Chains A and B, each alone.
Chain A
Amino acid sequence: MKIHEYQAKALFSEFGIPIPKGAIASTPAEAKSIAAELGGKVAIKAQVYAGGRGKAGGIKVANAPEEAEKLAGQILGTRLVTHQTTPEGVPVSKVLVEKAVGVQRELYLSIIVDTASRMPVMIASEAGGMDIEEVARLSPKKILKVYIDPTAGFQAFQGRKLAYGMNLSSAQVRPATSLMASLYQLFQAKDCSLAEINPLVVTTDGEIMALDAKLNFDDNALFHHGDIEQLQDVEQEDPIEVKANELGVKNYIKMDGNIGCMVNGAGLAMAVMDLITQAGGRPANFLDIGTVNNTERVIAAFKVFTTDPSVKAILVNIFGGIARVDVIAQGIVEVHQQMDIRLPLVVRLAGTNVDEGKSILAQSKIKFIEATNFYDAARKAVAAAKGEKN
């Protein structure tokens, strides 16, 4: 799960990580009064769940409160398109207004769990302000890493190693180390999957400060963190994904094609998308329906398909293991009784209780195209979405 920069900075503050002074504004007038209170030059930063804001015009600098009001007005209420968003972009309904800081150096600091060593790793670089993958590619020597033993926790010597490695002055090493320790505390306490400061700056006054803040959280650990879960801004998510989530359809990801897919299992769902593409079509979504023990989830999934105007055909591919094929078939019948669904439907069933499932569908009056295998299903769905007869 993602949160906004201003929310991440609030958590930084709570854990003692220095950040610039600032406040959040939803209107140009609010931006003006915050700027007046801060005094002097301010930065106005669009709050969106996407990187690349600077280049996309989502970060502006104002010299006076009136200018802050004007610039905030240019950003608020628009949709920001960055290299990380869709061409439609994401809505900007809040801007962070911050006191501008004089920057002497731009550094990089982050923590993730390194799956190879199975430990958290802290990554630092003196080449801050740019994409860290780019740094890794162009100058790998500038990337420093320390692995954090989960029982011992983050140690001061590791902080010194990174701080001296980034060529910080002796006076800056102690505050930098303390900032790193705080970031690790936050990472642990809130079950983050990523904690990133890019750039971490040395100000013209020699202070170390987090100019930006990015926190992602482990979805599997959210049950521990109700406070984090409620920070989610659904405006930033795809509206059909939000709708799917409301209907209780988990593991749904909107794609750009026109074949609605309902599959059990993540690997199988990805494989179905691959096959559709190979057969010359495009999936409208990824959906792992999971283990289905009642018909509700099937009904909800069909409701999502009918909500999505781009869906021109539905492909159901189920290989029953834990999921029972007869229950899925029953769900398909029930949803057709509840709603008038005219989309062509291609069904491929296999595995646990497949015969029962097939006879439920056969006895219903539902029109559907039966597929004998995986590839046949993809091919028939692609043809159906194009309006061809099978």
Chain B
Amino acid sequence: MSILIDKKTRLLVQGITGGEGSFHTQRCIEYGTRVVAGVTPGKGGSETLGVPVFNTVEEAVEKTGADASLIFVPASFAADAILEAADSGIPLVVCITEGIPILDMVTVHNYLKDKSTRLIGPNCPGLISPGKCKAGLMAGEIHLPGNVGVVSRSGTLTYETVAQLTSLGIGQSTCVGIGGDPMPGSTFVDILELFQKDKDTRAVVLVGEIGGTAEQEAAKFIKEKMTKPVVAFVAGATAPPGRRMGHAGAIISGSSGRAQDKIAALAAAGATIAPNPAEIGTTVKKVLETNS
């Protein structure tokens, strides 16, 4: 098993005809993902990469039964694209787009409150269930099917983590990039909850970073609800306060959002802390050995 996506997932790509959209759709198809539809307003009726293109998400869902959407549209139109997907009742929406204004996201979250749609991202690399389905930007070949769940706010740091795991022969159930924005659609807690329920996930790696309190909330959940071991790393111990470190959400304001406080909270909750980002894989290995 895995979480959120698997071999049955019927993926729709919003912005399929754009440069990034078509490049990554091609690679998702090559990985084995069932891409059933694309949406680009004005290009309905055409076909690209062997996939039918529709003008609206509603029509695409009606005609193809798509049950997940991957969004590549530019930041100024991305909130609209998320709302369109939710309006069509798509249960899983993954938004890759970086740079969506925060007040647009306030509107999006307010709209999603009463909907059953789950949003991953924005500003994220997407997710992958190795060997089954890839809905994102990650290089498929670094992954290995297995039993460790990965959840992270950072894209490339996830690749780094996965590469370390794979080189040690430790496979992954699902790897989820929740994104670097301050208000992600799905939080660490949302994903931990799914990993905790997933029969095939034995342990979880959580990769956090400075800014906000998502790691502290995750710590609370780990302490109260998780029975599976969690290995954690938090990036940005050396980041200066008051500066936005690339990600819109990665900022220490005043005394809030510091790496050391997050690490302390996770450690106190029983998570095993990787001593540095190069030793995430070996830390997982040790944890798996002790818990087997």
Total A-B pairs, Cβ < 8 A: 161
Q: Do B106 and A273 have beta carbons less than 8 Å apart?
A: no
Point out the residue from A149, A264, A374 that lies within 8 Å of B277, measured CB to CB: A374
The yes or no answer to B278 lying at the interface (CB within 8 A) is yes
Point out the residue from B76, B101, B152, B245 that lies within 8 Å of A286, measured CB to CB: B245
The yes or no answer to A170 lying at the interface (CB within 8 A) is no
Q: Do B160 and A271 have beta carbons less than 8 Å apart?
A: yes
Point out the residue from B137, B213, B235, B276 that lies within 8 Å of A270, measured CB to CB: B235
The yes or no answer to A23 lying at the interface (CB within 8 A) is no
Point out the residue from B106, B233, B246, B278 that lies within 8 Å of A266, measured CB to CB: B246
Point out the residue from B106, B137, B236 that lies within 8 Å of A150, measured CB to CB: B106
Contact (A150, B110) CB under 8 Å given A115-B183, A319-B156, A321-B125? yes
Point out the residue from A133, A191, A270, A319 that lies within 8 Å of B103, measured CB to CB: A191
CB distance from A158 to the nearest CB of B (A): 16
Q: Which residues of A contact B233 (CB under 8 A)?
A: 271
CB distance from A49 to the nearest CB of B (A): 10
B94-126: CB near A (< 8 Å → 1, else 0) gives: 000001111111110110000000000000010
Q: Which residues of B contact A288 (CB under 8 A)?
A: 245-246
A97–B212 alpha-carbon span in the complex (Å):
37
Q: Do A375 and B157 have beta carbons less than 8 Å apart?
A: no
B142-159: CB near A (< 8 Å → 1, else 0) gives: 100000000011111111
Q: Do B138 and A321 have beta carbons less than 8 Å apart?
A: yes
Point out the residue from B138, B182, B238, B247 that lies within 8 Å of A115, measured CB to CB: B182
The yes or no answer to B267 lying at the interface (CB within 8 A) is no
Contact (A151, B110) CB under 8 Å given A264-B156, A275-B278, A351-B142? yes
What is the number of residues of chain B that contact chain A, defined by CB distance less than 8 Å? Answer: 60
Q: Do A271 and B155 have beta carbons less than 8 Å apart?
A: no
The yes or no answer to A58 lying at the interface (CB within 8 A) is no
- In the complex formed, the residue of A with least CB distance to B236 is A270
A311-351: CB near B (< 8 Å → 1, else 0) gives: 00000000111100000000000000000000000000011
Is the interface on chain A under 10, 10 to 19, 20 to 34, or 35 or more residues? 35 or more
A36–B241 alpha-carbon span in the complex (Å):
41
Q: Do A219 and B155 have beta carbons less than 8 Å apart?
A: no
The yes or no answer to B42 lying at the interface (CB within 8 A) is no
Selected interface stretch from B8-16, B28-36, B222-230, B248-256: B248-256
Q: Which residues of A contact B240 (CB under 8 A)?
A: 253, 255
Q: Which residues of B contact A263 (CB under 8 A)?
A: 156
- Give the most central of A188, A266, A283: most B CB within 10 Å: A266
A374–B255 alpha-carbon span in the complex (Å):
29
A214–B150 alpha-carbon span in the complex (Å):
40
CB distance from A265 to the nearest CB of B (A): 3
Point out the residue from B106, B207, B212, B237 that lies within 8 Å of A274, measured CB to CB: B237
Point out the residue from A219, A251, A267, A373 that lies within 8 Å of B207, measured CB to CB: A267
Known: A269-B245, A274-B237, A375-B278. 8 other contacts (CB 8 A): A150-B107, A267-B246, A273-B238, A275-B276, A277-B238, A321-B139, A321-B156, A375-B276
Question: Which of B's residues lie within 8 Å of A, judged by CB?
Answer: 20, 24, 75-76, 99-107, 109-110, 125, 137-139, 142, 152-160, 163, 180, 182-183, 207, 209-210, 212-213, 233, 235-240, 242-250, 254-255, 276-279
